[in-house]
Amino acid sequence: MPNSLSPFFAPKGVAVIGASSNPNKLSFGIFRNLTQYGYQGNIYPINPNAKEVLGLPCYPDVSSIPGEVDLAVSAVAGSLTPDILEACGRRGIRAVIIISGGFREVGGQGVELEQRCLEIAARHGMRLIGPNCVGTMDLYSGLNTTFIYGVPDKGHIGFISQSGAICGGIVDYVRGKRVGFSNFASLGNEADVTETDVIEYLAEDPNTRVITAYVEAIRDGRRFIEVARRVSKIKPIVLLKAGKNEDGAKAISSHTGSIAGSIAAYQAAFAQSGVIEVSSVAELFDVALALDLQPLPQGNRTVILTNSGGPAALTSDSLGANGLNLTPLTDQTKASLRAWLNPSAQVSNPVDMLGGAEPPDYGRALGELLKDPNVDIVVPILVPQALIKPTDVAASLLEASKGTQKPMTCCFMGDDAVKEARNVLHSGGVPMYTFPETIGPVLAAMRRYALWKAKPVSMPTEQPGTAASRAKSILERSQGLAALGERETRPLLEAYGVQVAPGGFARTAEEAAKIAGDLGGPVVMKIASPDILHKSDAGGIRLNLYGKDEVETAFKEMVAKIRAGQPAARLEGVLVEKMAPKGVEVIVGMRRDASFGPLMMFGLGGIYVELFNDVAFRIAPVSADEALEMIGETRAGKLLMGFRGQPKADIQAIVACIQKLSQLAIENPGIEEIEINPLVVYPEGQGALALDARAILGGR
Amino acid sequence: MPNSLSPFFAPKGVAVIGASSNPNKLSFGIFRNLTQYGYQGNIYPINPNAKEVLGLPCYPDVSSIPGEVDLAVSAVAGSLTPDILEACGRRGIRAVIIISGGFREVGGQGVELEQRCLEIAARHGMRLIGPNCVGTMDLYSGLNTTFIYGVPDKGHIGFISQSGAICGGIVDYVRGKRVGFSNFASLGNEADVTETDVIEYLAEDPNTRVITAYVEAIRDGRRFIEVARRVSKIKPIVLLKAGKNEDGAKAISSHTGSIAGSIAAYQAAFAQSGVIEVSSVAELFDVALALDLQPLPQGNRTVILTNSGGPAALTSDSLGANGLNLTPLTDQTKASLRAWLNPSAQVSNPVDMLGGAEPPDYGRALGELLKDPNVDIVVPILVPQALIKPTDVAASLLEASKGTQKPMTCCFMGDDAVKEARNVLHSGGVPMYTFPETIGPVLAAMRRYALWKAKPVSMPTEQPGTAASRAKSILERSQGLAALGERETRPLLEAYGVQVAPGGFARTAEEAAKIAGDLGGPVVMKIASPDILHKSDAGGIRLNLYGKDEVETAFKEMVAKIRAGQPAARLEGVLVEKMAPKGVEVIVGMRRDASFGPLMMFGLGGIYVELFNDVAFRIAPVSADEALEMIGETRAGKLLMGFRGQPKADIQAIVACIQKLSQLAIENPGIEEIEINPLVVYPEGQGALALDARAILGGR
């Protein structure tokens, strides 16, 4: 089945609606680009007031187009778009790119206009890109529906952008650097075709090896995860997310009208679906280039080959900061190098051949380093020297690396002096960067992706011993409540098999004493009131109560104290629970994200969760492996694994708790937030206990 | 008094020793550069085997030079250098640049050779740059003693480098971008002239406004701090330090033979001396350019002016991540903008004029934003559009910003399309960057420097109540010991007025009971043994002992238990101390750095110091302000300031403790390391108590 997005990249014929001969109009720029880059299909300018545009005969409307046409590009005023779409639909056009703005992004009537366009497209079975976008390019079909000046070199990077303008800047930046692209798609408002649709298309596109994306907001987060998780096992997806902090998110929502959502949810989704998140525009293409051109590293043992110590030191810093190691070389490699290199040269890693190194030296040394079993990755560095041609060094490196399965990324410092060498290297399949600081992040991204590809798919498993129906009936009884205290949240947790401290709810001092008597040993008493958030501050917690008298007295004192301090608070009673032994306190929680659904959280408990912001997130459903990853991403994880003589904690109990809460969140969409704080974790094999919990209900 | 370094940058005449007409020799490159960039003094090729080089008459040796000469550049083999230096000295040459390698960096005889050169230079009162360097450039005198291809544009950035090779890469990178330099100095092995000497020289150089440096190792750290602290109040010092992690440090020490020292000490020194540390080569010159061209910001309230939302969102991310805020605009500014901008334009911050914005729109909007009292900094962004010339936008921005004291940094995305605009902007005094991600770090560096310049100089004050002589006699008694336990460290701390838990040392159970009786209340007992590092694990700590019997029993049990477990351990007795009330546990420590001297440390105590690596460093002597900064840099500081309902802790007591320990370290160079762990801090006004401490003695 042909992908419904194919006409956006390789159409059989294109109509440009509003095509104009006036070079001051954007539609002229579009038409010029369309005719300029080798597109072989028919091109039809549509303009009732013109005879021809750039030598091609003009048609008054799409219905009068004589030949095959399956794509229309519309650059006329937004308000005319519905009529144009109707006409396109009647003509049998399958895809329309709406360049014009004036739709959802301006609010008010623009929202309705966009809705009308969508309805018309749906009626005719047409797909839409845009509105408010700069169109598409395909370097293989030669299609170019943008008004951007110039095109990048032909290659294997596909680029999806939620910002149109950024595309122009990027094309200008990469042009002539042999950073090769397969196609470009600017998606604008994403009224119909979304970033996820294009990811699916590029996954199938034989010319695309690496998918890159600039993303501001993902509206259907769950579908994104599902698609990205599948595609990223076949091709890398490298993504730059804007709106990483409050100011950035504000900037996005003010210009697109979309809510950026929680960055924690995005980052969790990326981690779970193998998406390689980068932190800058430059890094987006630096990483994509390496993934396009080079094999993935089998490990992180890296060797530097250089003609200068300073850049090697900076590269070493960059490697170290990104989790890569300078590998020790074998004695054999060192001896081979020593045999012919300048006696002052350094044959341990970094291998410094000194300023006098000639082009053949680079190839010879590289050949020996690639043979070293301790080496996974090679980083040749060149600082241009007066007497050496960088292109010769590039050629020597290419020759020596032929057939190797070990990745290589070069750092050739400079600009003018290394331009040609860059073209030689890129054309030969080796990425070159200008500064040492680029190397670490690029290799780290390659390594992360290699690990992702090698990792078996981990599926969330149904948790045993859950009673969804019991949870549902509890929630039904709570209808109308905005929040649930510990009293109501405990049975919810129990329904999903989360262990809570033994105990029960008491309305009177006598009931409390009865529960305490049944529990035996010391108990803790906590007030149950929908009006008291911080029980401890209000005097609503008493610890270590022994026997009937102490319990009854504590009940009366607690009620009296709270009555005095907060006369308006509704006091329902108290929870009486067996005192739990000490352990490591952690938090397990869930907050429902508008785009991605239940966002699970794990972190160190107590005051430290906020002080150190030591938390990790994943989107539910969470598999056992993912829960383990969450724990491993935090410092709390280190503590729990048995840091500095601490006993190893019952990690499996936390993993189970995260998964149970994840399942609870999936099966009960009415719960907006839920938090176990603290979950007390005991030494390995001894489990974990939820000591307090609360939930917030939503309107769904 | 003329600076002794002047001849390196503006000599009255230059001799090139080993000058050659063979274009395959580096000495030819040097000679060609020397004659090519407008240097007006006399140039003398020295070569007994040549009549002339590049048309200039050759001399057999320096003694035969007829005219004025105060600088020699030597590119002959290292072993010939001593004779050359003798000849130069006799000829009255004041400064010599030794390009050749083969000295300290190769070890062995090279070290001696370098030492001989130094002695000869000292005897003749000559200054040396190098050996193993690429020389100097001065864009004002036209001097160029390097063999680097090309020169940067003339401007106000001075560059000092401990890597020669990197200079070539940098020159090639900045060339033709109107990133203006005043001079360049590659220092090689720094046998004589060091980075600190050149910083002092550049501080006086009228053509240098910003000092930049690439640094691998600083040998005299204390002098560096003293000089940098003074110079940075006059001119910014922007510095890139290589060797930030283990791999980087190893790379440095392998190629220079110098020990990079502790990166914590470097970073403390930079913080204390107003040095702006950057993290990459690109950032070094990005920051320097802005500091050269623009005024310093009076605050961090930033406004973005753009023709495209995506880059504005990315810039907002970069600002937010670097401590700058998107400022709200006044209603008046918004109304003025609204009056004439495209109705779909966004007039809140970021101000998005949309893709159709024309060059005059940029100037007009900028004018209004500069008038807004809420605005400290302006960031204009341009994504090139088909119909707009970036140079016109640049000109419009320059015109509108004339006379303003608010800094402006531009982001014009692209490469070819914005090249000319960059030249227009840089020539007009406004820095331009290609990517949004660059803006935040550049503005943050400017803001940090503005705060440093405005900050009053804080001098460490002598701590009251110290008894240095008492400490000295304690240390004399400890001679021969490698480490001091709590027993010996307590009196040292007391001699400097650090409050320790009341108590004393007991050899017998009876003595222990006597001390406990005198103290009253519950006591703690700790074993005193040079062989027991972890008292707690060995059973060497007992808490909460009441009364004579309990104390005597505890003494006997403790001794018996340890005798059984570690029969070889020397047991000196026990410390008996009054039980201290609970408080926040912190660590205050000192480790002596080979280059910078006593490195003071502050951090959160207990297991968390390692788990979160939540520590801050400064070089002693530490002023009260600096001690306060240390606390403020840690998360522990947040906790102590009264985080989440915690009582505010006695910060002043910690400040005093850090200063006392700082003074102790300065006055007692025999102490290699000392650590108070924990220092228990009580609520404000209630002081802090050192509960345990240890020290390591050095050989000095």
How many CA atoms are closer than 13 Å to the CA of B331, on its beta-carbon side? 0
CATH number of B611's domain: 3.30.470.20
Tokens linked to A652: 């499996």
Report the residue from B168, B170, B245 with minimal CB separation from A317.
Answer: B245
What one-letter code names the amino acid at A18? G
Mutate to test the interface with A, among B20, B166, B329, B437 (most CBs of A within 10 A): B166
Residue of B nearest to A255 (CA): B309
**Residue keyed to tokens 């003695």:** B697
> pLDDT tens digits for B102-132?
899 888 899 999 999 999 999 999 999 999 9
CATH number of B398's domain: 3.40.50.261
Phi, psi dihedrals of residue A226, rounded to the nearest 5°: -60, -45
CB distance A298 to A439 below 8 Å: no
Stated length of chain A? 700
Q: From B247, B271, B290, give the residue that closes a domain.
A: B290
Helices (H) and strands (E) in chain A, counts: 24, 30
CB distance B642 to B674 below 8 Å: no
Report the residue from A106, A417, A614 with minimal CB separation from B172.
Answer: A417
Least confident of A9-18, A382-391, B667-676: A382-391
In a domain, B264, yes or no: yes
pTM of the model as a whole:
0.94
Question: Is B66 in the same domain as B101?
Answer: yes
Question: Is B524 in the same domain as B624?
Answer: no
Question: Is B326 in the same domain as B309?
Answer: yes
B75 has a pLDDT exceeding 60 = yes
Question: Is B164 in the same domain as B238?
Answer: yes
For residues B555, B561, B564 and B566, what is the CA-based torsion angle, rounded to 10 degrees?
Answer: -90
Question: Is B81 in the same domain as B230?
Answer: yes
Task: Please tell me the predicted confidence (pLDDT) of residue B123.
Answer: 97
Cα distance between residue B217 and residue B244, in whole Å: 11
Based on the number of CB atoms within 10 Å of its own CB, is B560 exposed (0-12), middle (13-18) or buried (19 or more)? Answer: exposed
Check A383 against B304: CB less than 8 A apart. Answer: no
CB distance B437 to B471 below 8 Å: no
Mean pLDDT of A540-549: 90
Mean pLDDT of B545-552: 91
Question: Is B543 in the same domain as B636?
Answer: no
B266 has a pLDDT exceeding 70 = yes
Question: Is A276 in the same domain as A355?
Answer: no
Question: Is A276 in the same domain as A316?
Answer: no
Task: Please tell me the predicted confidence (pLDDT) of residue A353.
Answer: 95
Check A638 against B251: CB less than 8 A apart. Answer: no
CA terminus-to-terminus distance, chain A: 38
Report the residue from A250, A279, A355 with minimal CB separation from B165.
Answer: A355
Report the residue from B168, B252, B319 with minimal CB separation from A313.
Answer: B252
User: In A, which residues are within 8 Å of B102 by CB distance?
Assistant: 344
In a domain, A472, yes or no: no
Residue B358's beta-bridge partner residues?
none
Q: Which whole-number Å values give the CA distances from A10 to A70, B308, B680, in the listed order?
A: 10, 28, 72
**Separation in Å, CA of B635 to nearest CA in chain A:** 6
Name the band, by pLDDT with cuts 50, 70 and 90, for residue A260. very low
Tokens linked to A355: 């300023």
B595 has a pLDDT exceeding 60 = yes
Higher pLDDT, A469 or B626: B626
Among residues A195, A243, A191, the alpha carbon closest in space to that of A216 is found at: A243
Cα distance between residue B374 and residue B371, in whole Å: 9
CB distance B604 to A611 below 8 Å: no
Task: Please tell me the predicted confidence (pLDDT) of residue B1.
Answer: 55
Task: Please tell me the predicted confidence (pLDDT) of residue A254.
Answer: 60
Check B248 against A316: CB less than 8 A apart. Answer: yes
Check A414 against B173: CB less than 8 A apart. Answer: yes
Phi, psi dihedrals of residue B466, rounded to the nearest 5°: -95, 150
Report the residue from B281, B315, B644 with minimal CB separation from A610.
Answer: B644
Check A149 against B386: CB less than 8 A apart. Answer: yes
Domain coverage including residue B546: 502-578
Check A309 against B611: CB less than 8 A apart. Answer: no
In a domain, B491, yes or no: no
> pLDDT tens digits for B439-480?
999 999 999 999 999 998 777 777 777 788 888 888 888 877
Tokens linked to A337: 């190098």
Number of domains in chain B: 4
Q: With H, G, I as helix, E, B as strand and everything else as coil, classify residue A467.
A: coil
Residue of B nearest to A240 (CA): B314
Residue of B nearest to A177 (CA): B415
How many beta-carbon pairs under 8 angstroms link A with B? 286
Task: Please tell me the predicted confidence (pLDDT) of residue B255.
Answer: 55
**Separation in Å, CA of B670 to nearest CA in chain A:** 30
CB distance B399 to B366 below 8 Å: no
B139 has a pLDDT exceeding 90 = yes
Least confident of A349-358, B19-28, B219-228, B673-682: B19-28
User: In A, which residues are within 8 Å of B162 by CB distance?
Assistant: 310
Higher pLDDT, A698 or A326: A326
Helices assigned H by DSSP within B39-143: 81-91, 109-124
Check B149 against A176: CB less than 8 A apart. Answer: no
**Separation in Å, CA of B394 to nearest CA in chain A:** 16
Task: Please tell me the predicted confidence (pLDDT) of residue A1.
Answer: 56
Check A166 against B608: CB less than 8 A apart. Answer: no
Q: With H, G, I as helix, E, B as strand and everything else as coil, classify residue A689.
A: strand
CB distance A218 to A266 below 8 Å: yes
Mutate to test the interface with A, among B105, B255, B259, B639 (most CBs of A within 10 A): B255
Report the residue from B29, B310, B344 with minimal CB separation from A101.
Answer: B344
Angle (deg, nearest 10), helices A246-256 and B309-321: 170
Report the residue from B165, B612, B646 with minimal CB separation from A635.
Answer: B612
What one-letter code names the amino acid at B276? I
B257 has a pLDDT exceeding 70 = no
Mean pLDDT of B301-319: 96
In this structure, the number of other CB atoms found within 10 A of the CB of residue A232 comes to 22
Check B149 against A384: CB less than 8 A apart. Answer: yes
Percent of chain A with pLDDT over 90: 78
How many CA atoms are closer than 13 Å to the CA of A35, on its beta-carbon side? 16
CB distance A689 to A679 below 8 Å: yes
Phi, psi dihedrals of residue A687, rounded to the nearest 5°: 80, -165
Check B309 against A165: CB less than 8 A apart. Answer: yes
Mean pLDDT of B315-327: 96
User: In B, which residues are within 8 Å of A646 by CB distance?
Assistant: 607
The C-alpha angle with vertex B63 and arms to B58 and B69, in degrees rounded to 5, equals 75
- DSSP state for residue B644 in the 8-state scheme: G
Mean pLDDT of chain B: 92
Residues 6+ apart with CB under 8 A from A562: A527, A529, A532, A538, A539, A540, A569, A571
Dump the DSSP string for B245-264: SHHHHHHHHHHH------HH
| H or E stretch covering A306 | strand A301-306
How many CA atoms are closer than 13 Å to the CA of B262, on its beta-carbon side? 19
For residues B471, B477, B478 and B479, what is the CA-based torsion angle, rounded to 10 degrees?
Answer: 110
Name the band, by pLDDT with cuts 50, 70 and 90, for residue B253. low
**Separation in Å, CA of A255 to nearest CA in chain B:** 6
Q: From B578, B593, B623, give the residue that closes a domain.
A: B578
CB distance B43 to B16 below 8 Å: yes
> pLDDT tens digits for B360-374?
999 999 999 999 999
Least confident of A152-166, A241-255, B297-311, B331-345: A241-255
Name the band, by pLDDT with cuts 50, 70 and 90, for residue A525. very high
Task: Please tell me the predicted confidence (pLDDT) of residue B91.
Answer: 96
Query: Three-state SS across A527-563?
Result: EECCCCCCCCCCCCEEEEECHHHHHHHHHHHHHHHHH
Question: Is A636 in the same domain as A548?
Answer: no
Among residues A480, A610, A418, the alpha carbon closest in space to that of B171 is found at: A418
Least confident of A406-415, B21-30, B439-448, B630-639: B21-30
Cα distance between residue A669 and residue B309, in whole Å: 34
Alpha carbon A216 to its chain's center: 11
> pLDDT tens digits for A511-522?
999 999 999 889
**Separation in Å, CA of B34 to nearest CA in chain A:** 15
Among residues B263, B276, B268, the alpha carbon closest in space to that of B662 is found at: B268
In a domain, B671, yes or no: yes
Residue of A nearest to B244 (CA): A317
In a domain, A406, yes or no: yes
Mutate to test the interface with A, among B247, B315, B381, B442 (most CBs of A within 10 A): B247
Among residues A566, A563, A628, the alpha carbon closest in space to that of A602 is found at: A628
Question: Is B286 in the same domain as B307?
Answer: no
User: In A, which residues are within 8 Å of B170 by CB distance?
Assistant: 413
Residue A304's beta-bridge partner residues?
A379
Phi, psi dihedrals of residue B605, rounded to the nearest 5°: -85, -170
Check A165 against B437: CB less than 8 A apart. Answer: no
User: In B, which residues are within 8 Å of A344 by CB distance?
Assistant: 101-102, 105-106
Mean pLDDT of B218-245: 95
> Residue B446: which region, alpha, beta or left (left: phi > 0; alpha: psi -120 to 50)?
alpha
Check A320 against B244: CB less than 8 A apart. Answer: yes
**Separation in Å, CA of A310 to nearest CA in chain B:** 5
Task: Please tell me the predicted confidence (pLDDT) of residue A253.
Answer: 66
Q: From A290, A322, A357, give the residue that closes a domain.
A: A290
For residues A395, A401, A406 and A408, what is the CA-based torsion angle, rounded to 10 degrees?
Answer: -10
Stated length of chain B? 700
Mutate to test the interface with B, among A160, A358, A383 (most CBs of B within 10 A): A383
Task: Please tell me the predicted confidence (pLDDT) of residue A699.
Answer: 61
A256 has a pLDDT exceeding 70 = no
In a domain, A464, yes or no: no
Percent of chain B with pLDDT over 90: 78
Question: Is B596 in the same domain as B542?
Answer: no
Residue B544's beta-bridge partner residues?
none
Check A310 against B165: CB less than 8 A apart. Answer: yes
In a domain, B478, yes or no: no
Phi, psi dihedrals of residue B408, rounded to the nearest 5°: -140, 130
Question: Is B345 in the same domain as B358?
Answer: yes
Report the residue from B29, B417, B635 with minimal CB separation from A149.
Answer: B417
Cα distance between residue A383 and residue A641, in whole Å: 45
Mean pLDDT of A448-462: 88
**Separation in Å, CA of B36 to nearest CA in chain A:** 15
Tokens linked to B353: 């004029």
Residues 6+ apart with CB under 8 A from B630: B600, B602, B616, B617, B618, B622, B658
CATH number of A525's domain: 3.30.1490.20
Residue B59's beta-bridge partner residues?
B46
Task: Please tell me the predicted confidence (pLDDT) of residue A700.
Answer: 45
How many CA atoms are closer than 13 Å to the CA of B233, on its beta-carbon side? 11
Cα distance between residue B416 and residue A175, in whole Å: 8
Name the band, by pLDDT with cuts 50, 70 and 90, for residue B547. confident
Task: Please tell me the predicted confidence (pLDDT) of residue B473.
Answer: 87
Q: With H, G, I as helix, E, B as strand and everything else as coil, classify residue A609.
A: helix
**Separation in Å, CA of A614 to nearest CA in chain B:** 9
Least confident of A394-398, A605-609, A674-678, B409-413: A605-609
Task: Please tell me the predicted confidence (pLDDT) of residue B700.
Answer: 45
In a domain, A519, yes or no: yes
